[in-house]
Structure 1
């Protein structure tokens, strides 16, 4: 017998067979443990590289060259948007493509600098190159750790309205920050839309008409060439590659000198950016990966986190600031017919060529044209169509979108996404705590007895437990819809519209001897009020006295809890269901009947109080149980039905 790992792969062949190829050897030696721990899962490169051929190489080369024509000028422009020297934008385009080709799961995703990441880097690093690199390092550590411990599912808690509101607010904020460069106004304008507009309004008389003319012309040209994917560039960029070096964990260069600053002090300077920047980078990358995922290929959010974390972690050792998936470059990559992530390697090679040979010519590109590049790149990211779509589909989802958009636009972007996510989670918790519960009044087909069918439309956890118990008891005690008269032939035993009950009465009242008073419960309208006095005058009771007997003889309908939608539960929910069952027994409605309950749910509920309810395998069995309980109760209390005891 072999061990748990199975027999070792036999790499030998017989003398008349051909030797194994390297792809077959990789296949033979891959780990035997399936799923997220397999080598193919951790290195998606092994999925497409063995089948790589000339056709795919041609497609990837064309796509890589096309994306590089956009990435080089965009990288320079985004470097300036981040408040850094323009070469940092190109440094951010170097290694991410290589790392993502090795670890990424989506063919078309283009990793590199983006407008949103550049804006957040400028906000939290304050234009300091070393703090920007350190922020990229921490982003890589956080995202990589989240991917390794399989926390990719957390991304699903950021709803589409929140992401849409954030992207729209960021786009408008980025456009507003470029007004200064477009108008040729000097000086710092802040990082928010309000601060930028105030600065521009206060210095509007300093507008450079030539810059305004050039910027406007560039915008018109870029909009006209938008579908061709052509863009402009930046200013002076030094020639050469960044020297590999670790991020500055303890020292910062200030005015050419080294000043001591501990790691704790540096993290304090980055502040909320240590949470917001990794969060936004993950949301942006995952949204793009899902949008451009290949058909038929499963998306692994955790592996995407691993790939993104490695891109930032490795890039921080080569002077790169935080990178993520770029929507514009990914869309161009997809439209160019990309076949595999190898296109990112081609783009990386062309960026290396640009750094080595073309950087002296970048200084001829004016700043106004760079502002035009950024504005044209982000203006179409404003998702205004989302508002009418949500209005038609589900209006409450507009709340987190508007909160994210307005707070991010008028205050700060990081507060917008945090508050919007909080509002979205509150709506989710409210739906979980107050699920829709359908209460239907039905009749048993054999005995014509009314009962309530209660159907929750989602799982049952502790936030919704008390609400479900209250709804069950309120419905059983009379707050339920009046049952319709059963159709002819539906109730075989019920041959009259009323059920007559004989109940004890006080003696000594006018016309009433020690005996009984007739009360009735109608089978049609008004039955929801319980047992009511019938013909009070014939019994010698006044209207008020009849009302007293109506209140004291309160009755409850049997309740059948349809559990077909309850797929998960907990201890608190089990306690509440058991309490509802005990309360129903005390009011005379009999035990709570459970219908279509899953074994996993029953295992929890029966462990708490197995005597509080009765399990039924079908609705017919539940109806039979209602009839049996009614016969038992009627017989015990001396009830008459159609002139005979049942």
Structure 2
């Protein structure tokens, strides 16, 4: 229990007594307040966008191009070529994961390097197809390129608008347990969906639980060739991933060359696997044998640049743009956010390691523009890739110009290498996908989360579990549960209660918002009813950080109830923004004082009495 003593003086100066502020309630003041409150929000947002516009901010290349050097160009070229060797096999595999022909993975890999070089703020990140994004869109597009292209266009529009209106902070509403719940579930789902390609099984549905059932039901139909090749590819990929030279650093040219070769083999392991598997498949085909399920015909050449088709004809029926949008539904909100979530998490991680800043809103603009222009090349939605970004950073990239080299390499692959894609076994592509996403399942995070805060396991478990039914639902429910957990304390505001004679002093802590307005009213009314005679109220607002409209209505009703009982209400130590809200609300006879002493002087008049402020409870 804490006790504060206040001694009243017999003589109080007129200036201190008049320290109160009485707010006029006439119609003129009310009209002025209404005009101030009703400023159009869209105009305000546009004004904010224009006020923050800067060519160097909107086009970050203007910052690094004047300082670009031949030394940086050399490192960017090496990094771009290295990433290109990684992106080509991954793009083929991720297109297959999305249920599309493999060339669409390469189409989706073109624009990322070129656009991000102009608009991106991270030197390390690379944009393109990813396993999680491909798995997310697969059940939405059902192998339909038109749906995938329109989805990329609309996702890009959403991301671009969010970036232009400086809404990059929206990612703060997605908690780490939700992100981890989604990524862990996605890694398991992706691995299980690739088992059918690893074993050469046919006619397997996409829905997770049906897929599991049909895989076990058709195990007897496993193709020995695909299964053998698939597991050999996984073993080869794992060996190349963990292999490192154990030799100590010495000034030996032979050792340095050996280490470089080992690093290149480990980095380009996906290319080596695809190349070896395709050669084996071609060798069998030369003897008119084919023990593998292969990719088959791939459309050769570069894609044509044209606007995305906003309708299509299927079985003699025209499917309109509005019908496609209706089919995509909540995915038009979830997929842009997931894409940005994946990309900004990667960008921030590498920016933190390499000590440079990234702008989340500008990253939204870069990703959105990439998806919009990518849709003109029949691309599906893309985002930042962790594996390729890691390769890019380890290769010593200096600027986003490395993406230009990667983009050129993808174009050359489309122009000259598409005939070679015919012989790539699907089991080899499945092995690449499995080895890429399996490490995403973070067991240590689950252990730490349970140890640190068990309540946060709830959004993790909900997100993780529901993603097996439908990923969008899992993410939305997880976000909703995280917000409920975060907002619940606001429904029970902390209020310190003190008494002094015929006055109760209440000190609300934190924000007083609509969530806790009713609870706050009940606290005040219960404290007033506990004592006879009933008490006047002083609100000590020195710890009150913010106030919303519902809370203002609650205060107005409280003031009216007290006045009906001939009791008084006074405010103390209001912060400037809180006071401004109350001024605009035109509370009748709003009394504001700088201290509790001044408020008591006004309430108690000139009585020469000693009072004690006793803290009774914190609610």
Do the structures match in fold with TM over 0.5?
yes
Are the equivalent residues in 2 in contact too, given 1:35–1:41 (CA < 8 A)?
no
SS in 2 for 1:292: helix
Deviation of 1:280 (Å)? 2.3
Corresponding residue to 1:355 among 391, 394, 414:
414
SS in 2 for 1:568: strand
Are the equivalent residues in 1 in contact too, given 2:116–2:367 (CA < 8 A)?
yes
Are the equivalent residues in 2 in contact too, given 1:107–1:339 (CA < 8 A)?
yes
Corresponding residue to 2:553 among 571, 575, 594:
575
Instruction: Name the CA distance, whole Å, in 2 between partners of 1:392 and 1:561.
Output: 40
Instruction: Name the CA distance, whole Å, in 2 between partners of 1:276 and 1:81.
Output: 19
Matched with 1:473 is 525
Instruction: Name the CA distance, whole Å, in 1 between partners of 2:309 and 2:562.
Output: 69
Matched with 1:136 is 152
Deviation of 1:71 (Å)? 0.7
Corresponding residue to 1:225 among 217, 222, 240:
240
Q: Which moved more, 1:202-211 or 1:140-149?
A: 140-149
Deviation of 1:128 (Å)? 1.6
Instruction: Name the CA distance, whole Å, in 1 between partners of 2:70 and 2:433.
Output: 36
Deviation of 1:418 (Å)? 1.8
Matched with 1:527 is none
Deviation of 1:342 (Å)? 1.0
Are the equivalent residues in 2 in contact too, given 1:173–1:192 (CA < 8 A)?
no
Instruction: Name the CA distance, whole Å, in 1 between partners of 2:452 and 2:559.
Output: 38
Instruction: Name the CA distance, whole Å, in 2 between partners of 1:392 and 1:632.
Output: 59
Deviation of 1:598 (Å)? 0.7
Matched with 1:343 is 402
TM-superposition CA deviations, 1:265-295 (whole Å, max 9, x none): 3334444433333332232223323333366
Matched with 1:198 is 213
Provide the alpha-carbon RMSD of the alignment. 3.2
Instruction: Name the CA distance, whole Å, in 1 between partners of 2:229 and 2:408.
Output: 32
Are the equivalent residues in 2 in contact too, given 1:634–1:640 (CA < 8 A)?
no
Deviation of 1:627 (Å)? 7.4
Matched with 1:288 is 346
Are the equivalent residues in 2 in contact too, given 1:578–1:609 (CA < 8 A)?
no
Matched with 2:312 is 251
SS in 1 for 2:545: coil
Matched with 1:165 is 181
Corresponding residue to 1:433 among 469, 476, 491:
491
Q: Which has the larger radius of gyration?
A: 1
Matched with 1:151 is 167
Instruction: Name the CA distance, whole Å, in 2 between partners of 1:612 and 1:322.
Output: 58
Deviation of 1:131 (Å)? 2.4
Corresponding residue to 1:374 among 415, 422, 433:
433
Deviation of 1:197 (Å)? 0.4
TM-superposition CA deviations, 1:369-417 (whole Å, max 9, x none): 21111011111112333333333443333222211111112x1111111
TM-superposition CA deviations, 1:469-517 (whole Å, max 9, x none): 2223334544xxxxxxxxxxxxxxxxxxxxxxxxxxxxxxxxxxxxxxx
CA distance 1:382–1:42, shift in 2 (3 Å): same
Matched with 2:5 is none
Deviation of 1:253 (Å)? 6.9
SS in 1 for 2:510: coil
Q: Which moved more, 1:216-225 or 1:354-363?
A: 354-363
Matched with 1:215 is 230
Are the equivalent residues in 2 in contact too, given 1:582–1:591 (CA < 8 A)?
no
Gap runs ≥5 in structure 1: 1-32, 444-448, 479-529, 531-552, 642-646
SS in 1 for 2:376: helix
Give matches, 1:358-507, under 5 Å: 358-409=417-468, 411-435=469-493, 437-439=494-496, 441=498, 454-478=506-530
Instruction: Name the CA distance, whole Å, in 1 between partners of 2:538 and 2:448.
Output: 39
Instruction: Name the CA distance, whole Å, in 1 between partners of 2:586 and 2:300.
Output: 76
Gap runs ≥5 in structure 2: 1-48, 243-265, 279-294, 613-619
Give matches, 1:258-297, under 5 Å: 260-293=318-351, 297=356
Instruction: Name the CA distance, whole Å, in 1 between partners of 2:241 and 2:589.
Output: 68
TM-superposition CA deviations, 1:120-139 (whole Å, max 9, x none): 23211101223222222222
**TM-score normalised per structure 2:** 0.75
Q: Higher RCO, 1 or 2 (CA under 8 Å, sep at least 6)?
A: 2
Instruction: Name the CA distance, whole Å, in 2 between partners of 1:471 and 1:388.
Output: 40
Matched with 1:42 is 58
CA distance 1:566–1:240, shift in 2 (3 Å): same
More helix by share: 2
Instruction: Name the CA distance, whole Å, in 2 between partners of 1:119 and 1:640.
Output: 69
Instruction: Name the CA distance, whole Å, in 1 between partners of 2:476 and 2:326.
Output: 19
Instruction: Name the CA distance, whole Å, in 1 between partners of 2:129 and 2:413.
Output: 16
Are the equivalent residues in 2 in contact too, given 1:404–1:419 (CA < 8 A)?
yes
Instruction: Name the CA distance, whole Å, in 2 between partners of 1:175 and 1:99.
Output: 31
**TM-score normalised per structure 1:** 0.72
Instruction: Name the CA distance, whole Å, in 2 between partners of 1:213 and 1:450.
Output: 87
Q: How many matched pairs?
A: 517
Deviation of 1:600 (Å)? 2.1
CA distance 1:608–1:364, shift in 2 (3 Å): closer
Are the equivalent residues in 1 in contact too, given 2:129–2:381 (CA < 8 A)?
yes
SS in 1 for 2:443: coil
Are the equivalent residues in 1 in contact too, given 2:572–2:599 (CA < 8 A)?
no
Deviation of 1:206 (Å)? 0.9
Deviation of 1:300 (Å)? 2.9
CA distance 1:559–1:56, shift in 2 (3 Å): farther
Deviation of 1:264 (Å)? 2.7
Deviation of 1:579 (Å)? 4.2
Deviation of 1:260 (Å)? 3.7
CA distance 1:471–1:129, shift in 2 (3 Å): same
Matched with 1:599 is 576
TM-superposition CA deviations, 1:436-470 (whole Å, max 9, x none): x0425588xxxxx7986644332222332222222
Instruction: Name the CA distance, whole Å, in 1 between partners of 2:92 and 2:64.
Output: 32
Matched with 2:122 is 106
